[in-house]
């Protein structure tokens, strides 16, 4: 009998890797100087920030100067969408399956005079490239399409999307929060102009993230005003421990991504093949290209919330952590054409660095028993 927590909710947040924790701890105590200070103590800290910045830049294939540190991906998304203001281009395109941080920011832009087109997706959650092409206008400023969906793990063809977007002289905002540190990313090869990310999605701490801004993107209008940190685009004393941790998380991901991907994919495939043995069970987005750690599984005849509570020490989710408490059908699954009854019967399993085969075996056994019990 498994007594400890079996954590299969890595898309919501991840445990901090001990190597990351150990790297950041001195910056709370012995190396506490403000990196904006002119004395040697501050300069030493600034040098360490620059090293961490290089590690993150290396992970995503950009220049260190193209990174703006934020409190996380949500702030980065808000900065990108609200800071890119253009009086001559007042049209935004947004995929209907985006994270609520993007959708709510687009809604804000609508209230401020912008027109937003919400693109539907296929039943597997994929953007239709011809529909995207036909939705672009002469005044389109920005297209918002995420790399990896946080609920289903579906991966979009960002390189092809970027080519279409740039031919219309628009910019591409690609939310890569669920992709950074998990799959290889080269922002220049993919053609991404703006890309938010968050450390706590790949074994870093909460409260630190970044926005990649291509050097050719016009200067963003800041959300925060104060000092001139980060060129005045994001004022405020830098979160030194967080930045150091983000850099170390990026460094570890860069070195271990290949072997980690193989291990997690093997566990994910084991989980899926076993759960598909249950009558009528299916995987949402199964036919699409998906990231290796995520399975969104529908258990017809079972209410997902009941199953989640019944699982006890097994931590899973029924969708995005930002909206799971609403107990409403997932907007992502609805956009994919899934009936509300099936949407409310779907659970997301997301695996990560510290998931073990014993945990997956225990989860399979427990889920099978509970599904049969709840169906009765």
Which pLDDT does position 26 carry in this prediction? 98
* Residue 106 is a catalytic residue: no
Which pLDDT does position 162 carry in this prediction? 98
* Percent of the chain scoring above 90 in pLDDT: 94
- pLDDT, tens digit, 9 for 90 and up, residues 197-209: 999 999 999 999 9
- For the cut 90, the answer to whether the pLDDT of residue 87 exceeds it is no
Which pLDDT does position 211 carry in this prediction? 98
Domain with CATH 3.90.1150.10 in the chain: 6-15+256-375
Instruction: For residue 224, report the phi and psi dihedrals to the nearest 5 degrees.
Output: -115, 135
Q: Which of 102, 90, 69, 95 is closest to 141 using CA atoms?
A: 90
The pLDDT confidence band at residue 319, using thresholds 50, 70 and 90, is: confident
The pLDDT confidence band at residue 1, using thresholds 50, 70 and 90, is: low
Domain with CATH 3.40.640.10 in the chain: 18-251
The Cα 6–Cα 64 span in angstroms is: 37
Strand arrangement, sheet containing 209-213: 67-70, 209-213, 194-198, 171-173, 140-144, 91-95, 115-119
- pLDDT, tens digit, 9 for 90 and up, residues 74-84: 999 999 999 99
Q: pTM, whole model, 2 decimals?
A: 0.95
Question: In this structure, how many other beta carbons lie within 10 angstroms of the beta carbon of residue 134?
Answer: 9
- For the cut 60, the answer to whether the pLDDT of residue 326 exceeds it is no
- pLDDT, tens digit, 9 for 90 and up, residues 105-116: 999 999 999 999
More confident residue, 326 or 162: 162
Report the top-level CATH class of 18-251.
Answer: alpha beta
More confident residue, 234 or 325: 234
- For the cut 60, the answer to whether the pLDDT of residue 104 exceeds it is yes
Which pLDDT does position 227 carry in this prediction? 85
Which of the listed CATH numbers 3.10.310.30, 3.90.1150.10, 3.40.50.920, 3.40.190.100 matches domain 6-15+256-375? 3.90.1150.10
Say if strands 294-298 and 282-283 run parallel, antiparallel, or are unpaired. antiparallel
Which pLDDT does position 321 carry in this prediction? 56
The pLDDT confidence band at residue 332, using thresholds 50, 70 and 90, is: very high
| SS3 labels along the chain | CCCCCEECECCCCCCCCHHHHHHHHHHHCCCCCCCCCCCHHHHHHHHHHHHHHHHHHHHHCCCHHHEEEECCHHHHHHHHHHHCCCCCCCEEEEECCCCHHHHHHHHHHHHCCCEEEEECCCCCCCCCHHHHHHHCCCCEEEEECCCECCCCCEECCHHHHHHHHHHCCCEEECCCCCCCCCCCCCHHHHCCCEEEEEHHHCCCCCCCEEEEECCCCCCCCCCCCCCCHHHHCCCCCCCHHHHHHHHHHHHHHHHHHHHHHHHHHHHHHHHHHHHCCCCCCEECCCCCCECCCEEEEECCCCCHHHHHHHCCCEECECCCCCCHHHCCCCHHHHHCCCCHHHHCCEEEEECCCCCCHHHHHHHHHHHHHHHHHHHC
Least confident of 119-123, 214-218, 318-322: 318-322
- pLDDT, tens digit, 9 for 90 and up, residues 211-251: 999 999 999 999 999 988 999 999 999 999 999 999 999 99
């Amino acid at each position: 009998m498994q007594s400890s927590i079996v954590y299969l909710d890595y898309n919501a947040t991840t445990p901090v890797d001990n190597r990351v924790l150990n790297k950041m701890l001195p910056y709370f105590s012995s190396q506490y100087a403000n990196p904006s200070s002119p004395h040697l103590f501050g300069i030493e800290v600034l040098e360490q920030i620059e090293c961490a910045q290089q590690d993150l830049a290396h992970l995503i294939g950009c220049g260190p100067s193209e990174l703006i540190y934020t409190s996380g991906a949500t702030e980065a998304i808000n900065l990108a969408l609200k800071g890119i203001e253009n009086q001559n281009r007042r049209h935004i395109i947004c995929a209907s399956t985006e994270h609520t941080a993007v959708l709510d920011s687009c809604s804000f832009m609508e209230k401020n005079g912008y027109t937003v087109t919400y693109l539907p997706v296929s039943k597997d959650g994929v953007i239709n490239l011809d529909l995207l092409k036909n939705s672009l206008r002469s005044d389109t400023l920005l297209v918002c399409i995420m790399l990896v969906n946080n609920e289903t793990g579906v991966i979009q063809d960002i390189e092809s999307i970027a080519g279409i977007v740039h031919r219309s002289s628009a910019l591409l905002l690609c939310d890569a929060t669920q992709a950074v540190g998990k799959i290889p990313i080269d922002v220049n090869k993919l053609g991404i102009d703006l890309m938010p990310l968050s450390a706590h999605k790949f074994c870093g701490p909460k409260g630190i993230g970044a926005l990649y801004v291509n050097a050719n993107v016009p200067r963003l209008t800041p959300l925060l005003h104060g000092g001139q940190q980060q060129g005045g685009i994001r004022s405020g004393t830098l979160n030194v421990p967080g930045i150091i941790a983000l850099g170390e998380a990026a460094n570890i991901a860069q070195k271990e991504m290949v072997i980690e991907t193989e291990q997690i994919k093997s566990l994910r495939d084991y989980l899926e093949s076993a759960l598909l043995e249950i009558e009528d069970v299916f995987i949402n987005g199964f036919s699409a290209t998906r990231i290796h750690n995520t399975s969104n599984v529908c258990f017809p005849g079972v209410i997902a919330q009941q199953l989640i509570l019944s699982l006890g020490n097994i931590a899973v989710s029924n969708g995005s952590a930002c909206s799971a408490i609403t107990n409403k059908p997932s907007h992502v699954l609805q956009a994919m054409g899934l009936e509300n009854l099936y949407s409310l019967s779907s659970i997301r399993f997301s695996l990560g660095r510290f998931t073990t085969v014993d945990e997956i075996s225990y989860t399979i056994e427990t889920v099978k028993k509970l599904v049969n019990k709840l169906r009765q």
